[in-house]
């Protein structure tokens, strides 16, 4: 495994994103929605850095199976809190094809959210495949399969404190 982003780099960038989001959402009714399971660590760290009153929810959805995108979004558990007239911040681990993000944004808009924006830990630039973009991005990375800090390969490696590229 090769370390791509260290725990120290992650911590510093999460603090910066938290400060940006605090300023952007000041005075607004914010609901932070963590997309599970991959964004669990990032989301937990990020919402602690947003210095505003907010609601926290989760949305379990994925388009991946066996380390590959299936092209189909599967929702395992929808959010619990109502979002009508609230500003929704979707927090996800990685923007790859953009399918999960595109579907989640549409879902929350249809529920009547005042606005829907997104913050991702990492953005893989794959222009020919990207269906959505993120409003805030922690890191731009090359097109490698990465694990750690919540991201997995067959449910392994989520607990690594860094982001790493798996050896082929």
Q: Can you tell me the distance from the alpha carbon of 103 to that of 101, in angstroms, rounded to the nearest whole number?
A: 5
Strand segments (E) across 25-162 = 30-36, 55-65, 68-77, 87-95, 115-124, 136-141, 146-147
Is 114's pLDDT higher than 90?
yes
Arithmetic mean of pLDDT, 1-21: 97
Per-residue confidence at 100, pLDDT binned at 50, 70, 90? confident
Pairing of strands 30-36, 2-5: unpaired
Which residues on neighbouring strands pair with residue 61, listed in sequence order?
A: 75
User: Is pLDDT larger for residue 74 or for residue 53?
Assistant: 53
Active site residues: 96
For the domain made up of 2-143, the CATH class stated in words is alpha beta
Q: What is the pTM of this model?
A: 0.90
How many Å apart are CA 155 and CA 147, to the nearest integer? Answer: 10
């Amino acid at each position: 495994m090769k370390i791509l982003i260290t725990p120290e780099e992650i911590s510093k960038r999460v603090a910066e994103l938290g400060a940006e989001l605090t300023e952007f959402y000041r005075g607004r009714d914010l609901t932070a929605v963590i997309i599970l399971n991959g964004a669990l660590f990032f989301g937990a760290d990020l919402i602690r850095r947003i210095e505003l009153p907010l609601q926290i929810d989760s949305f379990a959805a994925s388009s991946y199976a066996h380390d590959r995108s299936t092209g189909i979004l599967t929702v395992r558990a929808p959010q619990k809190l109502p979002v009508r007239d609230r500003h929704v911040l979707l927090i996800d681990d990685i923007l790859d094809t953009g399918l999960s993000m595109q579907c989640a944004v549409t879902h929350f808009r249809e529920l009547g959210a005042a606005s829907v924006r997104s913050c991702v830990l990492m953005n893989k630039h794959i222009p020919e495949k990207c269906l959505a973009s993120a409003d805030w991005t922690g890191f731009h990375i090359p097109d490698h399969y990465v694990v750690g800090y919540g991201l997995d390969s067959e449910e392994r490696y989520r607990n690594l404190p860094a982001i790493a590229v798996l050896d082929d």
